[in-house]
Amino acid sequence: MAKIAVDYKLCKKCGICAAFCPRKVYSFNALDGLKAAREKECVACEKCVIMCPDFAIRVIREKG
Amino acid sequence: MTRKTGEMFLKRELLPFFWCSGCGNGIIMGCIFRAMEESGLSRENTVVVTGIGCWGKADDYFTTHAFHGTHGRALAVATGIKSANPSLDVIALVGDGDGATIGGNHLIHAARRNADITVIMSNNNNYGMTGGQYSGTTPFGAITSTSRYGHAEDEFDVSELVKTAGAGYVAKGTIANPLQLQKFIEKAFQKRNGFRFVEAMNICPTYYGKNNKTGNAPEMIEKLRKNTVEIKTARAAEPHELKGKIIVGEYADKEVDGFIKRYKEIQKKASVVSRK
């Protein structure tokens, strides 16, 4: 389990995180923007953190 | 174990970055920050030198010392800083327009001289800041603002060029594989002498992508990923199979005497002669 914190002030809606997430955690479209819709699926691999060009995503690991 | 983020090198208060949505420069920044922390570079002892261009704005976001040079001359400035104070770690950030086209001569001569600096090139195949004109790395046939019906010239393979010029360490990675790119940058930082060059293949969704209809940023990164060949595979492959492919890997990794070491030896020799 992990918690995803997206900083919407920094997000430029490029959709890279949504496209490259191996667990398809994010839902993204140009109208609604980005949402971590399936947060429960996240395994905290942090690929989105590394691929985000704007340092807008933080993945907080939860114990257990 | 927590992953190293290199956040202490980022001026977070200046975010969001000045770059367009989907620009890979931010991904390269992340790789540099993490590599700096991994290889133990300090804020006080590092100078980041840039030229002009989209990637030339990168020095604003570093908490290290920074020097913003003129167009194409980042390497001349970086060589000067390193020569004046050899204890500093000097990192030059150049784009393809800055480093390979306008400052192309500086690049080959800094490599030939083995100036003891690390150069990280962000190669997005065109001049992004001024509106997507063709640069020395724009591929044949590509449509840009200054080649509306296709580009007539062939592109530079910058990594091969720098390797041939005599640099100690040359590697090429892509933003589609940031961990590999980070590994190359880390290795470049850790070598500490000789000319170290890492080329990061980047995307420009705003101009290059729009002109050539290569899709949005995620699609461009996916295409970049599919278009890469590892250097080991490339060595065994036929030339026609590699046409238009990006060969990633370490082009050169050898021990060389850097410019500073050689120059000090000459200085010693000269001081003995002058005393006689």
Taking the C-alpha atoms of residue B101 and residue B125, their distance in angstroms, rounded to an integer, is 11
Q: Is residue A1 very low, low, confident or very high in pLDDT (cuts 50, 70, 90)?
A: confident
The rounded average pLDDT for each run of 10 residues, N- to C-terminus, in chain B (276 residues) is: 82 92 94 94 94 93 94 94 94 93 93 94 93 93 94 93 94 95 95 93 94 92 93 89 90 92 93 81
Per the structure, the complete domain to which residue B242 belongs is given by 22-275
Residue of chain B whose Cα is closest to the Cα of A9: B16
CATH number at residue B158: 3.40.50.970
Domain count, chain B: 1
Rounded average pLDDT over A14-43: 89
Q: Tell me, what's the ipTM? A: 0.93
Question: Given the DSSP bridges, would you call strands A2-6 and B46-50 parallel, antiparallel or unpaired?
Answer: unpaired
- In chain A, the domains with their CATH numbers are 2-61 (3.30.70.20)
Domain-embedded: residue B3: no
Whether residue B107 lies inside any domain: the answer is yes
Q: For residue B106, give every residue at least 6 positions away whose Cβ sits within 8 Å of its Cβ, in sequence order, or none.
A: B72, B73, B74, B75, B76, B99
Mean pLDDT computed over every residue of chain A = 89
> Is residue B253 situated within a structural domain?
yes
What residues of A are in the B interface, CB distance below 8 Å?
Answer: 9-10, 12-16, 18-20, 46, 50-55
Mutate to test the interface with B, among A6, A10, A11, A16 (most CBs of B within 10 A): A16
Nearest to B16 among A16, A18, A54 (CB): A54
- Record: contact B218-A46, CB cut-off 8 A: no
Task: Judge whether B173 and B181 are in contact, CB under 8 Å.
Answer: yes
Domain for residue B223, yes or no? yes
State pLDDT tens for residues B28-68: 999 999 999 999 999 999 999 999 999 999 999 999 999 99
**Per-residue pLDDT tens over the stretch B123-159:** 999 999 999 999 999 999 999 999 999 999 999 899 9
For B104, the token pair is 């192309």
B30/A55 touch (CB, cutoff 8 Å), yes or no = yes
Asked if A14's CB is within 8 angstroms of B217's CB, the reply is: yes
User: Within 10 A of B105 (CB to CB), how many other CB atoms are there?
Assistant: 11
Quick one: pLDDT at residue A64?
Answer: 54
